[in-house]
A and B are shown apart, each in its own frame.
Chain A
């Protein structure tokens, strides 16, 4: 546990030692506000809620989270520092968890720093703050799932750009799996139970349910399962590459 914490601190500080975290957070803050105001019409809608803001999170994460995740393993492998890391008295899963927690914290920090928007709607009207809290929690959990996929892809390739593109593709499938784009492929032949399960893979469905203000254990559970599964898959890939 202590090792995970040390690694977490090292990784977390690493993000801030280079411009990565600042650029990421800056872009996230600007883009999320631009989307909320200009595409979501947050002000013109005249409703004191943050729907217009949260609605775009899955699409923002689709590009931004793979960008932050792509360097996690690919960079280590490319620069060779992975060998140094592997010689440390930390297991691969500790390293994976340390890295994941550090990046997830950066994402959490970025989310927290969107508080001016929250203040804005509270200044303009009387929003249901319970719904906003639930949506923030949902958004952070969803970011974790995106991140786990991104880190797995980063473990797969030495090339950061390839890792980035692969992560976007896989994440996209998870985002749209509840929509007709994916469901139509199953519609003709699959039983309803399978179809519903595929539909329930969608990040959108689970996130939207949480953004309504209800924290269902199944929605939280879903994001945790996705995160754990992809982190574990990443772990297997690293172990296998190590063996090669």
Chain B
């Protein structure tokens, strides 16, 4: 009896000890971990650590999580725990510079008021639509504020970037100064063609709302001092002095976003002056040569797959191979500037190639689809009909780089300052080049991404593509420190089955031709059939000769046959992939288990002759004796 009592007491003791140990384990050991993921998704990157070393004043981070309200939302709680552990890691590595406060903003509490002060809003989630806060408010010594309104689990890839950006902005609170160098009429004004007054371009208005923007034209001789981000749009005929100024700006670690174009078709003024002169192309060749960038303004990209539908002069809708809409498949999902975008529209893109002597790192942001081709830009400029472009098109089966980010070491395009320029700070090379190149300038103009409408006298702009987001993302990213820019999205990258993709490509190529032939046959049969039926109608005769009837029946039969073949072709497309799937399933479910179990049995037979289990037992018994 007493043994039983002792046992139950011990059991109770184990249960209590178990709970205590689990609690301690959760509290104390969760910080120690090994990140086995390929991209170290769950560890602070060097960029973030660099930003932490730059903190020179105490920062207060207030992490708001509605702990109680989210009681049984396990997924959200797990994500909140992940955010909190990352914030704790920041605080731990900041040498005491970051004070982390963890707050549960319960309804009508002071903590909720604090969340309101930061402008955080609760998201209504859960089955009962509970108001849940999961955000971050932060202040520096001067009481500047930065917030992350809600940590969206969908954006886990950029979690570290978002937090590091917030810390960076608190440490460097001054407003970003953007210099826009362009001759394009981005500021609006009177249109020389129509005489009408036009609104400023939307991207320009957006930039002015977010940053201090200084717009200069190509007649300037140097860039304004204190430029944080330089945007160059459609550079043409830049003076030696201005080129030198851009070059030195980049050599001294300045960040630039450069839009060049083999043919700008949105600037009517340039088109007016350039009529009959061929393409209206940008020119920054001297700098590109030094950077090892091949940008040949003589070629314009045609993309059959990404081409946009446009209305032709005759009123029909046709696919324009030069007007390109780039979807997430063509945008870099791992770069913060392009990852969340759905569509970038542009026209007559130029392509970038890395020249062999370029020592820069290329991180491509936008590329074409594989159904692309290049066409002479002068020929493109003169072609008005989309149909003519599609006739000139012949696929290269190649993806072309349409926008890229360049970083790393590069030499200046100038061996010495040009004559007449005194430069005491002449830099011959840089280790910190940070430039984004985009092969189109038309994407900046409104017609490719916003729709304007009038609402009670107010002009409302509604974006239908993400061109403006791309520009602001790029500027915001470039305005950060190099450390911040170096933090890439890490984690949930798509890892497609390459083998299946290859099979798909081969199958599609193989059957596309066949489908085309069959489709042609079907079209012909259908037109012959309708001709025959029309004749019958015209004659007005109710009686058809047996030959006519036979011909109609034959055509109907043929039509059915061709349709059947077409369906089979479509079906065939997926068949190889399906076969591979079935084979893999069969191998894994039947063959491999059977083989492995048989192998085990064989191995056991082999071992049995060397080892007898009863022998071990008898050894133990001998030990007892």
Cβ-defined contact, A218 with B621, below 8 A: no
The proximity string for B residues 69-81 relative to A, scoring 1 for CB distances below 8 Å and 0 otherwise, is 0011010011000
A residues less than 8 Å from B71 (CB atoms):
183, 187, 192, 195
Chain A nearest CB from B623 CB (Å) reads: 6
Q: Tell me if A222 and B22 are in contact (CB < 8 A).
A: yes
Among the listed A197, A208, A216, which residue makes an inter-chain contact with B33, where contact means beta carbons less than 8 Å apart?
A216
A145 and B620 CA atoms in complex are apart in Å by 29
- Taking A43-B584, A240-B4 as contacts, is the C-beta distance between A124 and B32 under 8 angstroms? no
Q: Is the CB of A205 within 8 A of B604?
A: no
A237→B619 CA distance, assembly (Å): 28
The interface bits of chain A over 75-106 (1 if a CB of B lies within 8 angstroms of the residue's CB, else 0) are: 00000000000011110000000000000000
- Residues of chain A within 8 A (CB-CB) of B6 are 240
> Would B616 and A10 count as touching, CB distance under 8 A?
yes
Pair A26/B597 contact, Cβ less than 8 Å: yes
Most central of B11, B34, B500 by chain A CB within 10 Å:
B34
Interface segment, B350-358, B382-390, B531-539, B586-594? B586-594
List chain A residues, Cβ under 8 A from B585. Answer: 33, 37, 43
CA distance A115 to B18 in the complex (A): 35
Closest to B7 in A: A240
The docked-state distance in angstroms from the alpha carbon of A55 to that of B587 is: 21
Q: Which residue of A lies closest to B611 (CB)?
A: A13
Q: Is the CB of A29 within 8 A of B596?
A: yes
Which of chain B's residues 392-432 have a Cβ closer than 8 Å to chain A?
Answer: none
- Residue with the greatest number of chain B CB neighbours at <10 A, chosen from A9, A179, A195, A214: A214
Contact indicator B18/A9 (Cβ below 8 Å) = no
Q: A10-B613, A128-B38, A201-B22 are in contact. Are A183 and B588 (CB under 8 A)?
A: no
Size of interface on B: residues with Cβ below 8 Å to A: 66
Question: Given the complex of chains A and B, what is the CA–CA distance between A243 and B10 in angstroms?
Answer: 15
Cα A221 to Cα B590 with chains together (Å): 36
Chain A residue contacts of B37, Cβ below 8 A = 128, 130-131, 212-214
How many residues does chain A have at the interface if contact means C-beta atoms less than 8 Å apart?
81
Q: Which residues of A (203-217) have their CB < 8 Å from a CB of B?
A: 205, 208-209, 212-217
Contact segment of A56-64, A157-165, A228-236:
A228-236
B593 — which chain A residues lie within 8 A by C-beta? 25-26, 29-30, 33
Chain A residue contacts of B56, Cβ below 8 A? none
Within 8 Å by CB of B588, from A90, A120, A222, lies A120
Let me know if A200 and B22 touch, CB within 8 A: yes
Q: Nearest Cβ distance between residue A56 and chain B, in whole angstroms?
A: 14
Known contacts A26-B593, A217-B29; A124 and B41 CB within 8 A of each other: no
Q: By the criterion CB–CB under 8 Å, are B617 and A130 in contact?
A: no
Q: Let me know if A43 and B581 touch, CB within 8 A.
A: yes
Known contacts A130-B37, A229-B14; is A124 also within 8 Å of B604 by CB?
Answer: no
Contact B32 A216 (CB under 8 A): yes
Q: Determine, out of B147-155, B302-310, B489-497, the stretch whose residues face the partner at the interface.
A: B489-497
Are B596 and A25 closer than 8 Å at their CB atoms? yes
Are the C-beta atoms of A47 and B496 separated by less than 8 Å?
A: yes
CB–CB A236/B7 < 8 A: yes
Q: Which of B4, B22, B26, B620 contacts A89 (CB 8 A)?
A: B620
> Taking the complex as formed, is A169 at the interface, i.e. its CB lies under 8 A from any CB of chain B?
no
By the criterion CB–CB under 8 Å, are A16 and B604 in contact?
Answer: yes
Whether A215 touches B36, Cβ cut-off 8 Å, given contacts A221-B25, A236-B11, is yes
A75 and B494 alpha carbons, distance in the complex (Å)? 49
Task: Report if A69 contacts B (CB, 8 A).
Answer: no
Complex formed: what's the CA distance from A126 to B26 in Å? 34
Complex-state Cα separation, A47 to B540, whole angstroms: 62
Given A43-B581, A187-B72, 20 further pairs, Cβ under 8 A: A3-B620, A9-B611, A10-B620, A13-B611, A29-B592, A34-B589, A87-B624, A124-B497, A125-B497, A130-B38, A131-B36, A183-B74, A192-B67, A214-B36, A214-B37, A218-B28, A218-B32, A225-B25, A229-B18, A229-B21
Can you list 19 residue pairs at the A/B interface with Cβ under 8 Å? Answer: A10-B613, A21-B600, A25-B596, A37-B589, A88-B623, A89-B620, A116-B587, A116-B592, A120-B588, A124-B500, A131-B36, A197-B23, A208-B78, A212-B37, A216-B33, A221-B29, A222-B25, A233-B14, A244-B3
